Amino acid sequence: MRAVRLTHEFVHYVPEQLEPGVLYVSLPFTTVVHLCCCGCGNKVVTPLSPTDWSLTFDGASISLSPSIGNWSYPCRSHYWIRGNTAQWAERWTPRQIEAARTGTGQSGQGHSEPRRRSLAARFRQRVRRWLRQ
């Protein structure tokens, strides 16, 4: 699949009618909303927080991190938004998803261990739910 060019719009409230290919960035509500880049029309909400997504705005374009995995939608699309472009990523296996969540990036922080474990547990639960679908 080819990369999809996007535009961004800074808004206070996210409009009810979303245009495809537009990233609606609401700083007052610390959230970004867009229609799934595969074209399926599903609304993708990415809250901005230290444990959710982070937004980078370089003055011209928007990037979101980490990648966006629409596992709960039928399209199951997975892409990165970098520089107002949706770049398609591989579909991850549940094992890969879990490895990413519990990977080396967060290890070595002893004090955050309990929280890390509960996040991993929550993720395992979510993966099980996806697998049942």
Quick one: which of 18, 22, 40, 120 contacts Zn ion (CB under 5 A)? 40
CB 107 within 8 A of CB 76: no
CB 77 within 8 A of CB 70: yes
| 75 contacts Zn ion (rule: CB under 5 A) | yes
Least distance in angstroms from the C-beta of 43 to Zn ion: 10
Contact segment (CB under 5 A) with Zn ion among 11-19, 31-39, 100-108, 113-121 equals 31-39
| 4 contacts Zn ion (rule: CB under 5 A) | no
Residues 94-133 that bind Zn ion (CB under 5 A): none
Strand-pair category, 31-35 with 62-69: unpaired
| 38 contacts Zn ion (rule: CB under 5 A) | yes
Q: Any idea which residue has 């107002």 for tokens?
A: 84
CA–CA separation, 67 and 75 (whole Å): 15
Per CB under 5 A, residues contacting Zn ion are: 36, 38, 40, 75, 77
